[in-house]
C-alpha cells in the first residue's frame, strides 16, 4: 500500500503550489480506511486504531442525543465558543479531578480530535527548517503534521521503556542544535505499545527545560491501562511548566467519529489557540460536544472504561497466544500494558510492504512498519491493532497472515 503523491498531478496541471505542499505526506493509516472500504471480500482488520465496534456506546449516545441534540435543542446546532462549549469543559474538569490529568478550566481548549491538537502545537511552535524530534517508530500523523509545517525531523529510537532518552540527548548533541518540539506518545505508544518509564519522563522534562523545547505530550491511550502500574503523565510531572503541551482525545475512549478532543496548555496560550482555531474550524462540532458532555455528566465514562479495559486485556492476550502458535518461529512482538497496539518484527526478515497486497488477498489487513518512520526504518515490522477484533476473528486473521507470509517469503 503506498500513499499517492498528492503534489505531482497538481503540479502537472501547472497550478502554483506553495512550497509547503511538497511536505504534505498524508497518512498510510488513514488511507487504509478508504482502501479497506473499497474491498468487497471478508477482511480481518488489524489496521486502524479504532475501538471495537461493540465498544462504541451507541445506546447511551443515542439516548443522550435524543435529549440534548434532538428537536427541542436547536441551540445545539449553532456556532459555539471557540475554546469549547462551557458545559463540556466543566464536565471534563470534574472527570479529570483526582487523576494524573487533573487540571483547571483555563488550561482546557476543546479540539476537533487529537489531530487538531497536534496541528495547533506544530502551527504555534514550528518555523520552516526547525528541528522536531519524533520517536522511531512514531505515530504517522504526528510526524506528517510536523512535516506539513516544514519541520526537519530527527528520529529517536524507542525500546520497551519508550523513547530512549539517552539517545535523544546524544542525537541532539550530534545535530548541533536543539529541537523546537520533542514529540512523544508516552503511554502505550502508537505503534509500539511501549510506555515511557517514570525515570525517562523526568529526564525528558529536564532536557526539554535545558533546551527550551516544547514537550508535545500526545497521550490518547493513557486511560486504557489493563495491566501493570500507572505512571504519572507528563502533564502531572510538569506541574504547570508552560513547555508541556498536552493533547488528549475521546476517540479511543468513547468514539473516534465524534472528533472531540482537548489540549491542556498554559493558560497564556489559549488566545493563540483560539485565533488559530478560528482560522481552521471556528469551533469544534457542537452536537458532538453535547454528546460527550452528556456521556461525562451522566457518569458513563468510568463504567465504560472498566468494561473496555477488561475486554482489551482479553483481546491482547488472545492475540499473543495466537501469535505464539502461528508466528513463534518467525517473529517477535511487544507486550503492551494498555492501549490498542502490538508491534511485530519478522525474524528472518519479511518486507511488510510487499506482504500487504498478499495479506489483503488472503483477507487480513495491518499497517506496514515503514508507515511509522519518515526515513523508513522498519521494513520488517508491522503494527497490529488487537482492540477491534474478537479472539475468534484474531485467530482467523493471523492464520491468513501466516499464509500470506509463506507466499511472499517462501
222 or 294: whose CB is closer to ligand PMP?
A: 222
CB of residue 40 to ligand PMP, shortest distance in Å: 26
Nearest partner of 252 among 292, 230, 222, 209, judged by Cα = 222
Which residues inside 245-304 make contact with ligand PMP, applying CB under 6 A? 249, 251, 256, 261
Spatial contact of 371 and 32, defined as CB atoms under 8 Å apart: no
User: Which is closer to ligand PMP, CB of 103 or CB of 111?
Assistant: 111
Q: Is 185 in the site for ligand PMP (CB under 6 A)?
A: yes
Q: Are 117 and 220 in contact (CB under 8 A)?
A: no
The C-alpha cell that represents 188 in the structure block: 502505550
- Please identify, using beta-carbon distances, which residue of 185 and 384 lies nearer to ligand PMP: 185
Asked whether position 374 contacts ligand PMP by CB under 6 A, the answer is no
Q: Give dist(CA 52, CA 250) in Å, integer.
A: 14
Q: Using CB under 6 A, which of the segments 1-9, 107-115, 146-154, 291-299 binds ligand PMP?
A: 107-115
Other C-beta atoms closer than 10 Å to the C-beta of 382 total 29
Which residue among 84, 162, 186, 220 contacts ligand PMP (CB under 6 A)? Answer: 220
Q: Does 114 bind ligand PMP (CB under 6 A)?
A: yes
Subset of 125-184 contacting ligand PMP (CB under 6 A): 139
Write down the least CB distance from residue 113 to ligand PMP, Å. Answer: 3
C-alpha cell belonging to residue 252 = 479511543
Window contacting ligand PMP (CB under 6 A); options: 10-18, 35-43, 111-119, 175-183: 111-119
DSSP 3-state assignment of 370?
A: helix
Helix residue ranges per DSSP H, 69-220:
86-96, 113-125, 140-148, 165-175, 198-211
The one among 25, 115, 291, 323 contacting ligand PMP by CB under 6 A? 115
Start-to-end CA span in the chain (Å): 21
Select from 317, 327, 313, 334 the least CA-distant residue to 364.
Answer: 327
By CB under 6 A, which span of 109-117, 193-201, 346-354, 388-396 interacts with ligand PMP? 109-117
By beta carbon distance, the residue nearest ligand PMP is 113
- What whole-number distance in Å separates Cα of residue 168 and Cα of residue 77? 46
Q: According to DSSP H, which parts of 328-385 are helical?
A: 352-362
Of 108-116, 168-176, 208-216, 323-331: span binding ligand PMP (CB under 6 A): 108-116
CB-wise, 292 or 401, nearer to ligand PMP? 292
Nearer to ligand PMP, 84 or 220 (CB): 220
Closest CB 388 distance from ligand PMP, rounded Å: 12
CB 372 within 8 A of CB 402: no
Per-residue x/- track, 6-25, ligand PMP (CB under 6 A) = --------------------
Contacts of 309 (CB under 8 A, 6+ apart): 224, 225, 226, 338
Binding mask 60-99 for ligand PMP (x = CB under 6 A): ----------------------------------------
Nearer to ligand PMP by C-beta: 213 or 246?
246
Angle formed at CA 243 by CA 237 and CA 248, multiple of 5 degrees: 70
Residue with cell 477482511: 43
Give the strand pairing for 131-136 and 152-159: parallel
* Interface ranges with ligand PMP (CB under 6 A): 49, 113-115, 139, 185, 190, 218, 220, 249, 251, 256, 261
Amino acid at each position: 500500500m503506498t500513499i499517492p503523491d498528492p503534489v505531482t498531478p497538481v503540479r502537472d496541471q501547472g497550478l502554483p503550489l506553495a512550497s509547503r505542499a511538497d511536505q504534505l505526506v498524508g497518512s498510510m493509516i488513514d488511507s487504509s480506511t478508504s482502501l479497506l472500504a473499497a474491498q468487497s471480500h471478508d477482511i480481518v482488520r488489524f489496521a486502524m486504531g479504532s475501538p471495537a465496534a461493540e465498544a462504541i456506546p451507541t445506546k447511551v449516545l443515542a439516548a443522550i442525543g435524543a435529549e440534548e441534540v434532538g428537536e427541542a435543542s436547536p441551540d445545539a446546532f449553532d456556532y459555539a465558543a471557540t475554546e469549547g462549549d462551557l458545559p463540556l469543559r466543566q464536565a471534563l474538569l470534574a472527570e479529570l479531578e483526582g487523576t494524573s490529568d487533573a487540571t483547571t478550566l483555563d488550561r482546557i481548549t476543546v479540539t476537533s480530535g487529537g489531530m487538531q491538537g497536534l496541528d495547533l502545537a506544530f502551527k504555534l511552535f514550528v518555523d520552516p527548517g526547525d528541528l522536531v524530534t519524533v520517536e522511531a517508530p512514531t505515530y504517522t500523523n504526528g510526524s506528517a503534521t510536523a512535516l506539513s509545517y516544514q519541520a526537519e525531523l530527527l528520529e529517536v529510537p524507542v525500546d520497551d521503556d519508550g523513547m530512549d532518552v539517552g539517545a535523544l540527548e546524544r542525537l541532539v548533541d550530534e545535530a548541533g542544535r536543539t529541537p523546537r518540539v520533542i514529540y512523544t506518545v508516552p503511554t502505550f505508544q502508537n505503534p509500539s505499545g511501549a510506555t515511557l518509564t517514570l525515570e525517562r519522563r523526568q529526564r525528558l522534562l529536564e532536557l526539554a527545560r535545558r533546551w527550551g523545547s516544547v514537550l508535545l505530550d500526545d497521550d490518547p491511550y493513557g486511560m486504557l491501562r489493563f495491566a501493570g502500574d500507572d505512571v504519572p503523565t507528563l502533564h502531572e510531572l510538569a506541574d504547570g511548566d508552560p513547555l508541556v503541551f498536552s493533547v488528549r482525545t475521546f476517540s479511543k475512549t468513547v468514539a473516534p467519529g465524534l472528533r472531540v478532543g482537548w489540549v491542556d496548555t498554559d493558560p497564556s496560550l489559549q488566545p493563540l489557540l483560539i485565533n488559530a482555531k478560528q482560522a481552521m474550524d471556528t469551533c469544534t462540532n457542537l452536537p458532538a460536544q453535547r454528546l460527550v458532555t452528556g456521556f461525562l455528566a451522566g457518569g458513563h465514562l468510568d463504567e465504560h472504561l472498566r468494561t473496555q479495559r477488561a475486554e482489551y486485556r482479553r483481546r491482547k492476550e488472545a492475540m499473543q497466544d495466537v501469535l505464539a502458535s502461528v508466528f513463534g518461529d518467525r517473529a517477535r512482538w511487544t507486550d503492551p500494558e494498555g492501549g490498542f497496539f502490538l508491534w511485530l518484527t519478522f525474524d528472518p526478515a519479511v518486507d511488510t510492504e510487499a506482504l500487504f497486497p498478499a495479506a489483503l488477498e488472503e483477507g487480513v489487513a495491518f499497517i506496514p512498519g515503514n508507515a511509522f518512520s519518515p526515513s523508513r526504518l522498519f521494513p520488517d515490522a508491522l503494527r497490529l491493532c488487537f482492540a477491534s477484533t474478537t479472539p475468534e476473528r484474531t485467530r482467523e486473521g493471523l492464520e491468513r497472515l501466516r499464509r500470506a507470509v509463506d507466499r511472499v517469503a517462501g
